[in-house]
Amino acid sequence: KVQVDGLAAVLPRGDSIPAMSWATHGSAAAAAPEIAVRGPRQRVDKVQVDGLALMKILKHARETPLHAASGPLLGLVVDNVLEITNCFPYPAQDVDDGTGKFQIDMLRCLREVNVDHQQVGWYQSTFLGAYMDVDLIQSQFAFQSETAESVVLVYDPERTSQGSLSLKAFRLSDKYMDLHREGAFSKPGFAKHEVSHENVFEEIPLVVRSSNLTKVLLTELEAEVEEDADKLDLASSSYIEKNMKQLMLSLDELTQETMQLANYQRVLVRHREQQAQHLAKRRAEKQAAGENPGNDRDVIQELRAQNHPLFKPLAEPHAVEAVLANARLAHCSTQIAQFSTANLGKLFLSQAVQDQ
């Protein structure tokens, strides 16, 4: 931690969080500034985003179309409602010095002008369902470990360009948090904690709040805004094609993870056969010498203590990537189904208009 004037920045440790885990956040050392004064932990049931914070997120994503836009969220928790009132972007990699100084300076400035400076999460822009990766999990785990109420807002500019705002709030489920703390990333670990691709993340209901003056202004401007005919656009092949590409990429990743698991199982079977042959040979030698061969379990423990190469435990492959590939597959399939359903309605409407 880096503490200055009651403000704290929590920097990722190299021995616990891979450096690449923070690469998508603008800076590899873009840290999670901790809430200055902690109250009792509350269960967040709804996320409320102010219009100012939302417009900053959209502006940041529009200014960095080739990179993932990300930054901390500021606000507070009131009656189980997480109110996000402000945010600011993380600095670029060539600007940040890796000490969290930028975040500390920003929080100090916001505190001096009496603006909410308590960090309650972070945001990230994404392309379709590409946000479901190990980097996001590592970063969100670090945030939730420091502040249990932290959430991540995921904004999808590509989906928003199709006519509806795509902004969702996620947090890691309690079951996955326990799994991650234990480091049980193998297939038995996921089965023990009852974690699957469906419950790694929890989606929290999200609402956008606008002030009364903003609503009055929008009402006055509504008459001056021209009719939006883009919603009737029937050219949907581009968006569906992009989703299909993401679907195929996720399917390829899942196939690779499945092949790695199959290779591990083959190696494990061969390894156990070699162990059985070694034990049988040792037993025969002991019996020929008139010695007690002993119990196989005790012999295995003794050989492991001696670091015998045949009795070293094999490292199981992590199942996190396979679970996340499944999650991306499900997300892309849902997006295609929802978008196709909406476009079918447009096609039937256009056909009815043409018939008349």
> pLDDT tier at 14 (50, 70, 90 boundaries)?
very low
The residues facing 326 across adjacent strands are none
> Which residues, at least 6 apart from 40, have a Cβ–Cβ distance to it below 8 Å?
none
Is the distance from CB of 179 to CB of 193 less than 8 angstroms? yes
Three-class secondary structure of residue 238 per DSSP: helix
**Can you tell me the distance from the alpha carbon of 226 to that of 234, in angstroms, rounded to the nearest whole number?**
20
**Can you tell me the distance from the alpha carbon of 277 to that of 204, in angstroms, rounded to the nearest whole number?**
55
Residue among 31, 32, 35 at smallest CA distance from 6: 35
pTM of the predicted model as reported, rounded to 2 decimal places: 0.72
Residue 40: the pLDDT is 52
Strand ranges for 14-113 from DSSP E: 32-34, 46-50, 70-78, 81-87
- Structure tokens of 356? 């008349």
Looking at every residue in the chain, the average pLDDT score rounds to 77
Residue 356: the pLDDT is 67
Return the higher-pLDDT residue of 158 and 23: 158
Q: Average of pLDDT values for 217-235?
A: 66
Residue entry with tokens 């990766």: 133
pLDDT at 323 over 90: no
Return the higher-pLDDT residue of 292 and 74: 74
pLDDT at 161 over 70: yes
Q: Average of pLDDT values for 168-179?
A: 92
Calculated CA dihedral for residues 23, 35, 123, 228, nearest 10 degrees? -160
